[in-house]
Each structure stands twice: as C-alpha cells, then as structure tokens.
C-alpha cells in the first residue's frame, strides 16, 4: 500500500462521522512517518478533492464529503485566502482580538476605499469586533 493511501485511510478513520480536524504532525506521529512527507501527501489529497483543509497554524485536514466546499474557521480566514496580501493584517487583527483577557483595542486606518469597513465587518461574527472595542 502506498504512503498516500495509508495517510488517507488514517485520516478517514479519525475523521469520518466526527467533526474532527487533524494536523500533519498528528498523522505523522501515529503512522511513524516524516511530517514533511505526510504534509505533502495531505496537500495532494486536498488538491484531488479527497480532503478538506483548514487554513491556519497548524494547517488541519479532514476527510472531504462529496460536494463540499472549502471550510474556513472565520470570515477573516476566507478573506485572507482570497486576498493573500491581507494575510499579515488578518493574523494581527485576530491576535489583537484574542489577546487575553479581553483583547486589545485596534485602530484600523488607511486610504478611502481600501477595505477598512469590509475588514471590520468580516471580523464581527466570530472574533467579536465591535464599534466599542
């Protein structure tokens, strides 16, 4: 059995019927394989549509259901995926909001029409951005 097949079977075993996401390191440890090789094979499975990928650090994977689209933890992750140039801003915004104990205040500034309002709107649902924050 090929390595990619072993990885796919273990991913399926761990995630089918559950809402569980696993990292390449978890799979590599369980299968006694190199993490880089497991990560490469997981990305191949994702490109083939057999696995779903959750962006972030660490990147997490689950088994793909037929007809499923990309899953993002937050709207900001989706925005970061669509506009890679915003990745740093998204990560900094998430870090500020999630900073213990109640987050940090954040000032979003820039030229007119650069997407400041859209950035704030995308962060509201799950991260708790608000006008008072």
Q: What is the pTM of this model?
A: 0.49
Provide the residue-wise pLDDT of the chain in tens; the chain has 133 residues: 789 999 999 888 888 777 788 999 999 999 999 999 999 999 999 888 888 888 888 889 988 875 344 555 677 777 777 788 888 888 888 787 777 777 788 888 889 988 888 888 776 655 555 555 4
pLDDT of residue 70: 53
Q: Which residues pair with 53 in a beta bridge?
A: 61
Tokens 């870090």 belong to residue? 95
**What CATH number labels 3-63?**
1.10.10.10
Torsion, Cα of 43, 44, 49, 52 (10° steps): -20
Residues comprising the chain, all counted: 133
SS3 state at 64? coil
> Are the C-beta atoms of residues 127 and 98 closer than 8 Å to each other?
yes
Q: Give domain limits for the chain.
A: 3-63, 75-127
pLDDT of residue 67: 39
Contacts of 74 (CB under 8 A, 6+ apart): 94, 122, 123, 125, 126, 127
pLDDT of residue 92: 85
User: Cα separations (Å) of 89 from 38, 40, 69, 95?
Assistant: 29, 27, 25, 10
């Amino acid at each position: 059995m090929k390595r990619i097949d072993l990885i796919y079977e273990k991913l399926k075993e761990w995630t089918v019927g559950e809402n569980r996401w696993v990292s390449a390191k978890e799979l590599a440890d369980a299968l006694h394989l190199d993490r880089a090789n497991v990560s490469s094979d997981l990305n191949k499975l994702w490109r083939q549509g057999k696995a779903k990928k959750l962006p972030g650090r660490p990147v997490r994977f689950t088994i793909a259901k037929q007809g499923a689209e990309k899953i993002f933890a937050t709207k900001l992750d989706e925005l970061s995926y669509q506009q890679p140039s915003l990745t740093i801003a998204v990560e900094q915004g998430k870090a500020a909001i999630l900073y213990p104990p109640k987050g940090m205040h954040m000032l979003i500034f820039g030229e007119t029409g650069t997407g400041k309002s859209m950035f704030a709107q995308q962060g509201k649902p799950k991260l708790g951005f608000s006008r008072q924050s």
